[in-house]
């Protein structure tokens, strides 16, 4: 199950997971994009199901889990990647509606997904693996707006707590600390804030944007048995941003 799958990191993850042999449930709000991606996957010999929905709606999330079970029999892994954020507005200038939406998507969305996914994985002898998308903003004040920084810190808290509570049940939960990545969301945020790519990568050792597939590969590894001894992890995919 991959949320935020219609573009960027989520779409790259869908392709990457399928290349590793997984069948995927693609969830996002933009149905047309999801169906185009699913068609691409199926033409290449993979299996993909589409669920149009919003992670802030618990019923939509539960429907995605139900589709995974109906189509593929189990829910072995989940990549909770849907997110929303922006740049360039100070805390006291941020509108309440912006705060509400960012917290809803990034925190409530992960909360909704974890609850539905874990309930199902608890019924499976094989347990499961979950990866949540956090950010360098989950560790630092990066220049993103305050609600986004707070939300991505919260994602790390949810990740560690879930890992601790369900490790005995064979469920691994990890988070990616993602650096600046070439996505539609970042491009929109840079344009709105009047900032350049160089501004957001200047601190990172590699001083470049990530390609979405570079993040997707890390998620695929964490969801696989190759990462069987990794849980509660905060795994940087940030070009060295958090190392300096």
Note the pLDDT of residue 190: 59
Band (pLDDT 50/70/90 cuts) for residue 82 is very high
Mean local confidence (pLDDT), 123-139? 97
Question: What is the per-residue DSSP string for 225-238?
Answer: GGGTT--S-EEEES
| 31-43 helix and 8-19 helix, angle to the nearest 10 degrees | 20
- The per-residue pLDDT of the chain, averaged, comes to 94
Note the pLDDT of residue 185: 74
Instruction: Scan for tokens 């691994």, then name that residue.
Output: 172
Which of 121, 233, 129 has its CA nearest to residue 174?
A: 233
Q: Is the pTM of this model over 0.75?
A: yes
Note the pLDDT of residue 85: 84
Looking at domain 2-243, its CATH architecture is 3-Layer(aba) Sandwich (3.40)
Q: Which residues are bridge partners to 172 per DSSP? A: 129
Note the pLDDT of residue 183: 73
Contact predicate 121/169, CB 8 Å: yes
**Residues catalogued as catalytic:** 148
Contact predicate 230/174, CB 8 Å: yes
Residue 194 pLDDT > 70, yes or no? no
Residue range 216-243, pLDDT digits in tens:
999 999 999 999 999 999 999 999 999 9
Note the pLDDT of residue 168: 97
Band (pLDDT 50/70/90 cuts) for residue 86 is confident
Note the pLDDT of residue 116: 98
């Amino acid at each position: 199950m991959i949320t935020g799958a219609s573009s960027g990191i989520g779409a790259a993850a869908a392709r990457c997971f399928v290349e590793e042999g997984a069948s995927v449930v693609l969830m996002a709000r933009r149905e047309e994009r999801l169906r185009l991606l699913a068609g691409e996957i199926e033409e290449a010999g993979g299996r993909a199901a589409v669920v149009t929905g919003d992670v802030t709606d618990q019923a939509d999330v539960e429907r995605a889990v139900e589709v995974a079970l109906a189509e593929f029999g189990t829910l072995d892994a989940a990549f909770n990647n849907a997110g929303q954020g922006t740049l360039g507005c100070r805390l006291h200038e941020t509108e309440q509606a912006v705060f509400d939406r960012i917290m809803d998507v990034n925190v409530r969305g992960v909360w909704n997904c974890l609850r539905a996914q874990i309930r199902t994985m608890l019924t499976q002898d094989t347990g499961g693996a979950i990866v949540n998308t956090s950010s360098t903003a989950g560790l630092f004040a990066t220049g993103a707006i305050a609600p986004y920084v707070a939300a991505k810190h919260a994602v790390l808290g949810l990740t560690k707590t879930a890992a601790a509570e369900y490790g005995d049940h064979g469920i691994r939960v990890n988070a990616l600390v993602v650096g600046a990545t070439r996505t539609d969301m970042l491009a929109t945020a840079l344009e709105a804030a009047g900032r350049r790519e160089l501004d957001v990568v200047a601190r990172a050792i590699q001083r470049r944007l990530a390609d979405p597939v570079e993040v997707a590969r890390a998620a695929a590894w964490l969801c696989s048995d190759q990462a069987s001894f990794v849980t509660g992890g905060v795994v940087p995919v940030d070009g060295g941003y958090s190392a300096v």
